[in-house]
Structure formats: structure tokens, C-alpha cells
Amino acid sequence: MGIDKSTVSRIVRDVIDSLVARRNIYISWPTNNRHIRQIEDGFFVTGGFPKVIGCVDGTHIRIQAPSRDEPAYVNRKGYHSINAQAVCDHEGKFTNICAKWPGAAHDSHIFRTSSLCALMERTHASISDGFILGDNGYPCRPFLLTPYLNPQGRQQHRYNDSLCATRVTIERTFGRWKRRFHVFHSEVRMTPSRVCRIAVACAVLHNIAISMGEPQNERDNREVLMEPPH
């Protein structure tokens, strides 16, 4: 197109920074009671689990080996990555994202040190305040429910089945997010700090696309591949 490579790089950087600066407009934790009820009802229809206000998980974004602190970015699967943790609602919108940790960081540590965890510890007082659902990579907390490791009896099995059927929403959300943005399809050859900002920018665009009813192309609409459990 006759545009210098450095110009394109500057434009992409400026757009990413502009999107990240507006993250709180498009990625926000639900506080309106009506909105919270809509999320709870939507999740209940999905898996029959009551009072769910979000599903949490982490996903790895493959990156090239960084020049600094390289071992910290090697995840449990043996490649370099950023561990991006997010919470989604019943529609697959991100309501919280934390994309700043190297691949070796554990999901439970990322959540425990997050602003969302601090918020839930301050504000969650009872069942009526709702729950976040996570997998066994997270500790069970009054506001964060996880599956039974060794379920006993019909009730615990039903609990696990309902929780897993609901929690899969975040895995599907990650799959659609990565399919929508091809930068995630292979190793991202940028510095970790830039990759983190790209992840947040793409999360903002993902939410905008859902709000506007933007369709995914035929390839995006195929069944997504789930990541192995953490």
C-alpha cells in the first residue's frame, strides 16, 4: 500500500494504547442489580447452577523467548507464554482480565493477587452476592466455587456436573477470542509487555464485537478446541 513499515508499527501501537486506555469502559465488573440478575439467569439456563456472576480461567498466549527473565515465561507445557486470566459473563463477554503474568505463574496466584479477588473479599457477604466458578486450579472460597475432587454421592456429582457445564463458558470464550484475532494463532514475536497490551486491546474489541452483534466468519464458528485443564 506504499506505507512505510515503521509508520504501520506506530499506528498499530497507537491504536492498541488507545484501546487499553478505554478498557474500563468496555470491560467492567457487573454492579447493577438488574444486570447481575441477567447474568445469573443466563448462566442458570446454560448449566443449571444458581447465582453465578462469572466464570474464571487462565489461557496461555505463546510468545517468543524474551531476553529478560526467560525461565519465568516457560509454562508447564514447556513453551514461552503470557498467562492471561479472565472472567466472562453468560454471553461470553469479558468482565475482568488480568494479562500481565509470565507463563510460569499459577492461576491461583494470579487470582489471589488480583484486584477482583480483593474486591470480592471486601464485598461478598452471603449467597445472595453470587459466585464465581473456577476449575481445580483455584482454591475454593466463599465467593469462588470449584468442583469436588472426589465427589461422593448423587448430590456432589450433580454439583460437579452443573458447575462444569456452566464453567465451560469461559473456555468457549477464550476459544472464540483467539479465533477472532489471528495474532493469537501462533507465537507472538514482541516483548512480553507489548503482548500483554495486545491481549487487553483484543479483549476490548471482543466485547465491542459481541455488543454490536458482529458475526464471526465460518472458520471462527467451527467448534473450538478446548485447552487441557490446568
Q: What are the pLDDT digits (tens) for 134-149?
A: 999 999 999 999 999 9
| Position 3 confidence tier, pLDDT thresholds 50, 70, 90 | confident
pLDDT band at 217 (very low <50, low <70, confident <90, very high): low
Please say if the pLDDT value at position 219 is more than 60.
Answer: no
Banded model confidence at residue 215, pLDDT cuts 50, 70, 90: confident
Q: Are 83 and 105 a contacting pair, CB within 8 Å?
A: yes
Say what the pLDDT of residue 214 is: 87
Asked whether the predicted pLDDT for residue 98 surpasses 90, the reply is yes
Per-residue confidence at 216, pLDDT binned at 50, 70, 90? confident
Residues 106-129 have a mean pLDDT of 95
178-187, long-range: CB < 8 A, 24+ apart: 178/59, 179/216, 179/219, 179/220, 179/224, 180/205, 180/206, 180/209, 180/216, 180/220, 181/205, 181/206, 184/61, 186/62, 187/62, 187/63, 187/64
Is the pLDDT at 228 greater than 70, yes or no? no
| Stretch 154-174: mean pLDDT | 97
